[in-house]
Amino acid sequence: MSDLATRLQALLEEKRLSKNAFAKMVGVSQPAISDIINGKTRDPKNILEIATALGVDPNWLKTGEGSRDTSLIVSEPNAEHKVKVDHLSVSAIAGYNGFSNEDYPDIIRSIYFSENGLLEIVGKKTTQGLYLISVPTDSMSPTINKGDIVFVDVNVNAYVGEGVYVFDLNGETYIKRLQRIPTGVIRALSDNPLYPPFDITEKLFNTAVVRGKFIRVLPINPKDL
């Protein structure tokens, strides 16, 4: 099957689902599903939800590559998929030093992994301090695109080497690649060249609150950050 539109249409026919019924399953409008099938929307932001609802691998659905079947990620727990990772908003990450369901009751959703799936996708055996967030900006594109769902380790609350961090500074929340340079300052870089870098002195960075370090983009093809 040559493209996303063709694969989605074939799956709906195979499962005898109308566009309207499927739209309700995914939680989007029927025209939104039609736009994908008609080829108008080529890169839907909710590809994970669409793939999960159809029981197929999101990377296969989007690109046609790899195996159609998925056994790593599901939206509801079962005997194999018991490892839960909560999906929070960026404001949730920015608002708390530590997180629990009691602290932040309005979790967007939860995603469940098999133990092997978590290890394969995230490179970790535990979900302690691990959350998902949707990236609200294109400043880190093309490494991390706006709308990508990313694993964040909130156990990291200080600079621990070059990488992509979410941090608060002077009342603002930033998602930037941080890099310590020989002059002693920390440089905040955006992978998108439209956003210029800026330097943070050691004294100023001591006032920052590091909320977490990005680990990987949720597959569709995990990318080390």
In sign, the C-alpha dihedral spanning 31, 34, 35, 40 is negative
Count Cβ atoms below 10 Å from residue 142 Cβ, excluding itself: 9
Pick the CATH number of 83-217 from 3.30.1330.10, 3.40.50.10860, 2.10.109.10, 2.40.50.140: 2.10.109.10
Please tell me the total number of residues recorded for the chain in this structure.
Answer: 225
Dump the DSSP string for 23-40. HHHHTS-HHHHHHHHTTS
Neighbour-count burial of 33, counting CB atoms closer than 10 A to its CB (0-12 exposed, 13-18 middle, 19+ buried): buried
The answer to whether residue 97 scores a pLDDT higher than 60 is no
Whether the pLDDT of residue 1 is over 90: the answer is: no
Sequence spans of domains, the chain: 4-70, 83-217
The per-residue pLDDT for 181 is 94
Fold match flag (4-70 vs 83-217): no
For residues 18, 20, 21, 25, the Cα torsion angle rounded to the nearest 10 degrees is 130
pLDDT tens track for 35-93? 988 888 888 888 888 887 787 878 788 888 876 766 567 777 877 788 899 988 776 55
pLDDT surpassing 70 at residue 31 = yes
The predicted structure's pLDDT at residue 106: 55
Per-residue pLDDT tens digits for 121-147? 788 888 999 999 888 889 999 888 888
CATH architecture group of domain 4-70: Orthogonal Bundle (1.10)
149 close to 133: Cβ distance less than 8 angstroms: yes
Name the percent of the chain lying above pLDDT 90.
33
Helix/strand/coil for 205: helix
Mean pLDDT of 179-188: 95
